[in-house]
Amino acid sequence: SEMRPGISRVFDVIVIGAGHAGCEASAAAARAGASTLLITHSKMTIGEMSCNPSFGGIGKGQLMREVDAFDGVSARIADQSAITYQALNRSHGPAVIGLRAQIDRKLYKKHIQKELLERTRNLEVMEASVEDIVVEKKEKGEGNVLRGVVLSDGSIVETKSLVIATGTFLGGEIFRGNERITAGRIGEKSATGLSLALKRLNLRLGRLRTGTPPRIVASSIDLSRFTRMSPDETPIPFSFMTKKIGIPTEQQLPTYLGETNDAVTKIVQDNLHLNAHVREETNGPRYCPSLEAKIIRFPQLKHRLFLEHEGLDSDVMYPQGMSMTFDLPVQEAIFRAIPGMERVEIVQQGYGVQYDYVDPRELKGTLEVKKVEGLFLTGQINGTTGYEEAASQGVIGGMNAAARSRGEEGLTVSRVDALVGVLIDDLTMLGTNEPYRMFTSRAEFRLHLRPDNADMRLTEMGRRMGVVGDERWNEFTAIKKAFDTCCDIMGNDKRSVYKWMKAISSLKIADKPQLMSALDMIYRHNVSFDEMAKANPSLAPFVGDPNLEERLRIEAMYSVVGERMKMKMEEVRREAATSIPESIDYSAIRGLSMEAVEKLERHKPLSLAAASRIQGVTPDAILILLRHVKCEVRV
Amino acid sequence: RMSTIFALSSGSLPAALAIFRLSGPMSKGTLMRITKKKELLPRYMFYSKIYDCTGQVFDSAMAAYLPGPSTFTGEDTAEVFVHGSVAVVDRMTETLSSLPGMRHATAGEFTKRALLNGKISVHEMNALGALLQSTTPRQMEQANRALKQGDWLHKSITRLRCKLAIVADFGEDVTSNIDEVRRELEALLIEIKEKRRKGLAGERVRKGVKIVLVGRPNVGKSSIFNRLCGFDRAIVSTVPGTTRDSLEISRIIGGINVTIEDTAGIHYSNNPVEKDGIKRSMQKMNEADVIVAVVDASREDREILHIIPSHIPHIVVFNKADLMDKKPSIEGSQVYTIATASDGCESLEKKLEETLMELCPPYAELTLTAGVSEVEKLIEECLSHNDIGLMNEILQMASEVWGRADTNEQLISDIMKNFCIGK
């Protein structure tokens, strides 16, 4: 395309889409000092929580903390808008705790719009629709370079890098009963022009499905028929920076737990034939995102449903677990078969969505498209599901888009260092054929990738990339210094149990021959930090900081397997660094079993580490593959 | 490309039938070639003429084509039942070797492929090896039991890893209970300890039991040895010290493979040859699973009973019982024999059978291989924590030690198959 006169500015970074990925991407690019333009269909929808009114969960809480460690926005904003904190797995230890909160949609939107529209330097927001992207062939070498975007009025905006974060809007189609409508979100048009543009760039596209439950009127439900779940007495905020949450615990709202029954199962089964979305489920996900899928696969079970308030002063409730795509009368019948909901009113019916996603193997670990320098994809467009998955990709994509505008390659976060690293590595190395959701079990180093240490893992990285502001940096470095000093003191203070008992009078332990460090003592024998400081006066300056003490106690606990973990991390780093050429012919490799050949051909992993994560590929196959790849490289 | 292997899989020739087994991608093509069939129905046995490379018929046979992966090796396989003559088998071998992509299997290669293709575990492979080598009914039974059980420890650990993963990741979707997991871990620990005990006995059944005859010179060890052999294996004379070197025979007692060793008489001697024999006797005695201590009933000398290692089960035989004045009062198993007349030898045999039964009880199992004690330690360690992350990590170590750790992705997939996950 030809550049039109009238557009005088060249942006460093343009971000298309203002959902969770787009918000984080534009904010991160702007924090990094890039002149950034955020393009959205409507400013009013910036930060829309289009599905559940909550942030966090198991694994997802970690992602929120990681976004926060890069000085991202969603964790802080969520803390200002939360109406219930309910952390999951609280009693099961810091590695698997799931930070989670119900969020007031309106408040969240209000706060994040204020943040992006008024408080973020270097960021401009424009209401427009992007119809095409402009690329140029590289002068040297293969591939393209991104130049700009074409708006619906035909004008071109130039940019050094572009982040596409259009969620389910690419080729979006909505399903209601037997109806099919072209749309991204209900009542909003989808982005077909962009979809075509990506196809023209020869990017492999696939199709995924998701859905959202109906919204119901709270006052039409007899909530006494459901199990009430109260907010946590001591809420755990998402952000390391949050000193005071927006809404105090006593003003927070409970959530409610109920379940489906045989009558619900029967209505679903009787109406499955009237459901185009379900009929189209050829290669559905392994898990059950919709009530239909749950009942098809597990008809004998009663399925849980959670009732969640959509806001402090909202009469709308979100029935988590009841995503469905039936016609409205069927949806009503299903709800009304549940005790307590006999007279329930539906304000917005549930629907299914099908949308295009780009095969994430088209991306580098920086989220930049391999074939187009300067083009980044983040969020649902890469085949993920969930706000947190989107937001965490947004931070990384925005940060790296800014780096690209400076002429740098950007940062690939390793799966050893962050759960978002696991997410990106899984996607870019193995691809996905179902909406990718984060589980802590996907990480080799779950014990290391915890919510409590996200800042220790990532904030320095973020600072180097320019996305961590001074306020956070100063606060972080103070904590880090105190933590490192204490770890040092306590790790080196090794005494016999006898000497420990002499120093700490309350201790009663059966004699053990080996030396124990002060760290061992606070974990293994529950010595309080105060007592420890009496035994070792060099700790005295650090007494009275519960945050620091908690961090030390957790550190001590996981040092049990620390050595082994470090060795394994090296292994994973090495395997991740062993890439498999895309042109590999598995069937020509001697010694690979047919099953392994078939699996490898289907998944096309791009690194040895990724190959070893494929189900059914045995360690022997990995060894054979390693030998082969190493030989190839030498040739 | 993977080569296709073949081997004669049946016993020695000549015989009525000889069975060839083929495994690998060329199995089907090769079978079609030697039978000149245009099509093969999978898992369907058919009758056919067999052609060599020159197209000449050299035998008629039954054959079947078995497509992978539901085969022993996990690959496409074929079986051909030709006539069991040396000439036919030679021609068949020659024909198969000359076909493209085909080669003769090396020893154990079918099993190795099954292992590499994940069809069997190392533990099952061991059990299969034990079955193929079994000579006694007891060995066969326990090998079969081990095969049937499969890799129970792998299954148990994986099941528990799944349960912990559910607690960690899917508590919202599936009702899970950490106390239940702890109880199951404790039960597994008990099971491992129990299996280790049974495994020791199982090892004895597999390897056989060593019975050693010891005693002073000229007490009649060799006569008793000959009685246990069922023929005169050892030279018997009235001259003390006739047996200089140890003699050994193998036989089956009570379904158990045993080796019985006769040894030189133990006493103080200056003769260097005899001295060396005595040293060996002492050594044999210490290595024995069962000691048969022979004593001359007509004499007071019982010194030998003091040098028997007390932890090794033993039977005291009072030989020359006809010359005995009064029954001696000693503890433990004892028999009275007149070996020269074979009197009392049946009761010795019966006592041996009883002792073997104690050493190799019917519950003996061929289940445990290296690594199990480390697994046991790790499960103990796992139980010492309350943190789900740590417990998970340690259990994963246990499955790595055991040799077959499923990837996390595999666990997630299994969980999704079995539980309703997602909202």
Domain boundaries, chain B: 4-114, 122-199+369-408, 208-359
Q: What residues of chain B lie within 8 A of the CB of A89, using their CB?
A: 167-168, 171, 388
3 state DSSP class of B70: coil
Residue type, B282: M
Architecture of the domain made up of B208-359? 3-Layer(aba) Sandwich (3.40)
- The model's confidence at residue B1, banded by pLDDT at 50, 70 and 90, is low
Rounded to the nearest angstrom, the minimum Cα separation between A491 and chain B is 20
| Interchain pair B389, A446: CB under 8 A | yes
Residue B104 backbone dihedrals phi, psi, to 5 degrees: -70, 140
- Which band of pLDDT confidence, cut at 50, 70 and 90, is reported for residue B331? low
- pLDDT digit string (tens) for B44-63? 999 999 999 999 999 999 99
Specify the higher pLDDT residue, A8 or A124.
A124
Per-residue pLDDT band at A1 (split at 50, 70, 90): very low
Same fold, B4-114 and B208-359: no
Q: Which residues of B touch A614 (CB under 8 A)?
A: 409
Q: Mean pLDDT across the stretch B2-28?
A: 92
Q: How far is CA A254 from the centre of its chain?
A: 25
pLDDT at A377 over 80: yes
CA B103/CA A313 separation, integer angstroms:
78
Neighboring chain A residues of B68 at a CB cutoff of 8 Å: 594
**B89 in helix, strand or coil?**
helix
Cβ contacts of B172 on chain A, cutoff 8 Å? 57-58, 88, 304
Residues of chain B with pLDDT > 90: what percent? 35
Nearest CA in chain A to B410: A615
Say whether the ipTM exceeds 0.90.
Answer: no
φ, ψ dihedrals at A55, nearest 5°: -120, 150
CA distances in angstroms from A248 to A112, A237, A252, A316, listed in the order given: 20, 12, 7, 21
| Mean pLDDT for the stretch of residues A131-153 | 91
pLDDT of residue A3: 45
pLDDT: which is higher, A311 or A189? A311
Residues A465-494 have a mean pLDDT of: 96
Instruction: Check: CB of residue A109 under 8 Å from CB of residue A46.
Output: yes
State the Cα torsion B174-B179-B184-B185 to the nearest 10°: 120
Scanning A448-467 for CB atoms below 8 A from B yields 450
* Residues A81, A296: Cα–Cα separation, whole Å: 37
Strands of the A54-56 sheet, one edge to the other: A54-56, A100-103, A82-85
In this predicted structure, the answer to whether residue A361 has a pLDDT above a threshold of 80 is yes
Candidates A295, A306, A441: best to mutate against B (most CBs of B within 10 A) is A441
Beta partners for residue B18, in sequence order: B82
Of A92, A560, A594, the CB nearest to B68: A594
CB contact under 8 A, B390 and A557: yes
**What CA–CA distance (Å, rounded) separates B48 from B78?**
14
3-state SS assignment for residue B83: strand
Closest partner residue to A557 (CB to CB) among B165, B387, B397 is B387
A321 touches chain B (CB under 8 A): yes
Distance CA B384, CA B20 (A): 54
Q: Among residues 577-606 of chain A, which lie with CB inside 8 Å of chain B?
A: 587-588, 590-595
Nearest to A611 by CA among A626, A590, A631: A626
Q: With 50 as the cut, is the pLDDT of residue A243 above it?
A: yes
Q: Among residues 74-93 of chain A, which lie with CB inside 8 Å of chain B?
A: 88-89, 92-93
Say if the Cβ atoms of B2 and A441 lie within 8 Å: no
Residues of chain B contacting residue A93, judged by C-beta atoms under 8 Å apart: 386-390
pLDDT in tens, A255-307: 999 999 999 999 999 998 888 777 655 456 777 778 998 998 889 999 999 99
Contact indicator for A283, A337 with CB cutoff of 8 Å: no
Contacts of B389 in chain A (CB under 8 A): 92-96, 446-447, 450, 558
How far apart CA A246 and CA A110 sit, in angstroms, is 13
What residue type is assigned to position A294 of the chain?
K
Beta strands in A245-315 (DSSP E): 255-259, 304-309
Cα–Cα distance, A116 to A93 (Å, whole number): 36
Of B68, B75, B420, the CB nearest to A288: B420
What would the pLDDT profile of A553-579 be if each residue is shown by its tens digit?
999 988 878 777 777 777 777 777 788
* pLDDT, position A187: 67
- Residue B185 Cα, gap to closest chain A Cα (Å): 17
Contact (CB<8Å) B421/A323: no
Residue A344: is its pLDDT beyond 70? yes
Q: Note the pLDDT tens digit of each residue in B152-161.
A: 888 899 999 9
What span, in angstroms and rounded, lies between the C-alpha atoms of B120 and B111? 8
Whether pLDDT at A2 is above 60: no
Return the structure tokens found at A461.
């990285």
pLDDT at A5: 46
A152 touches B at CB < 8 Å: no
CATH class of B4-114: alpha beta
> Which pLDDT value is given to residue A225?
97
Range list of β-strands (E), A405-527: 494-495, 516-517
Dist. CA A329–CA A324, nearest whole Å: 12
- Whole-angstrom Cα Rg for chain A: 26
Q: How far is A566 from chain B (nearest CA, A)?
A: 13
**pLDDT-derived band of residue B127, with 50, 70 and 90 as boundaries?**
confident
Helix, strand or coil for residue A547? helix
Residue A185 has a pLDDT of 66
pLDDT at position A484 = 95
**Does A7 touch chain B if contact means CB atoms closer than 8 Å?**
no
Provide, as residue numbers in chain A, all residues whose Cβ is less than 8 Å from the Cβ of B388: 89, 92-93, 95-96
DSSP string, B295-314: EETTS---THHHHS-TTS-E
Which of B266, B264, B276, B231 is closest to B249 using CA atoms?
B231
Contact list, B69 vs chain A (CB under 8 Å): 594-595
Per-residue DSSP letters for A83-137? EEE--BSGGG-TTT-B-EEEE-HHHHHHHHHHHHHHS-TTEEEEE--EEEEEEEE
Interval B135-144 mean pLDDT? 86
Which pLDDT score is estimated for B370? 62
Average pLDDT, chain B: 86
Distance from CA of B37 to the nearest CA of A (A): 25
| Residue A185 DSSP one-character state | B
Among A32-36, A78-82, A509-513, B142-146, name the one with the lowest average pLDDT.
A509-513
Closest CA to A600 of A623, A619, A579, A616: A616
pLDDT (mean) for B268-285: 82
Distance CA(A537)–CA(A504), nearest Å, equals 13
Whether residue A634 has pLDDT greater than 50: no
DSSP letter for each residue of B395-412:
HHHHHHHHT-PPPHHHHH
Q: Which residues of A touch B173 (CB under 8 A)?
A: 304
Q: Is A129 on the interface with B (CB under 8 A)?
A: no
Write the CA distances from B153 to B144, B179, B191, B195, integer angstroms: 17, 21, 9, 10
Rounded Cα gap, residues B343 and B330, in angstroms: 21
pLDDT confidence band for B328 (50 / 70 / 90): low
Put simply, the answer to whether B116 touches A620 (Cβ < 8 Å) is: yes
Strand B102-104, strand B209-215: pairing: unpaired
pLDDT surpasses 50 at B3 = yes
> Which residue is closest to B419 within chain A, CA to CA?
A298
Q: Which residues pair with B205 in a beta bridge?
A: none
Q: CB distance B2–A594 less than 8 Å?
A: yes
Q: Select the residue of B118, B420, B423 nearest A298 (Cβ to Cβ).
A: B420
A16 three-state secondary structure: strand
Which of A93, A287, A593 is closest, CB to CB, to B389?
A: A93
More confident residue, A474 or A512: A474
User: Do residues A592 and B2 touch, judged by C-beta distance below 8 A?
Assistant: yes
Tell me the helix, strand and coil percentages in chain B, rounded to 5: 45, 20, 35
Q: Cβ of A510 under 8 Å from any chain B Cβ?
A: no
Listed in sequence order, the residues at least 6 apart from A453 whose beta carbon sits closer than 8 Å to its beta carbon are A551, A554
Kindly list the residues from chain B whose CB atom is less than 8 angstroms away from the CB atom of residue A293: 422
- Which residues of B lie inside 8 Å of A (Cβ-Cβ)? 1-2, 25, 68-69, 74-75, 113, 116-118, 165, 167-173, 178, 385-390, 392-394, 397, 407-413, 416-417, 420-423
Element (H, E) at A353: strand A351-358
Please check the confidence at residue A635 and state whether its pLDDT lies above 50. Answer: no
Number of CB pairs, chain A paired with chain B, less than 8 A apart: 136
Structure tokens given for A338: 């549940």
The pLDDT value given to residue A4 = 45
Among A400-409, B234-243, B281-290, B304-313, the range scoring the smallest mean pLDDT is B234-243
Q: Where residue A467 falls among pLDDT bands split at 50, 70, 90?
A: very high
State whether A616 and B2 contact (CB < 8 Å). Answer: no
pLDDT tens, residue by residue, A405-440: 999 999 999 988 999 999 999 999 989 988 999 988
Is residue A263 less than 8 Å (CB to CB) from chain B? no
Residue from A594, A603, A614 to probe the interface with B (highest B Cβ count within 10 Å): A594
Say if CB B261 and CB B248 are below 8 A apart. Answer: yes
Instruction: Check B412 against A439: CB less than 8 A apart.
Output: yes
Whole-angstrom CA distances from B80 to B49, B71, B92, B104, B111 are 11, 15, 10, 15, 19
Share of chain A above pLDDT 90, in %: 67
Q: How far is B10 from chain A (nearest CA, A)?
A: 26
Within 10 Å of residue A113's Cβ, how many Cβ atoms?
19
For residue A633, pLDDT over 90 is answered with no
Q: How close B32 comes to chain A (CA, Å)? A: 21
Question: Residue B330's pLDDT band (boundaries 50, 70, 90)?
Answer: low
Q: Do A613 and B2 touch (CB under 8 A)?
A: no
Residue B327, pLDDT score? 67
What's the pLDDT score for residue A159? 97
CB-closest option in A93, A439, A565 to B388? A93
Q: What is the pLDDT of residue B274?
A: 76
Euclidean distance between the first and the last CA atom of chain B, given in angstroms as a whole number:
45
Q: Which two tokens stand for residue B369?
A: 């291989």
Does the beta carbon of A57 lie under 8 angstroms from any beta carbon of chain B?
yes
Beta strands in B52-148 (DSSP E): 57-66, 77-84, 102-104
* Per-residue pLDDT tens over the stretch A62-111: 999 999 999 999 999 999 999 999 999 999 999 999 999 999 999 999 99
Instruction: Give the confidence band of B338 by pLDDT, cuts at 50, 70, 90.
Output: confident
| Of A49, A53, A51, nearest in space to A351 by CA | A51
> Which residues from A are below 8 Å from B393, CB to CB?
446-447, 561, 565
> Does the pLDDT at position B72 exceed 50?
yes
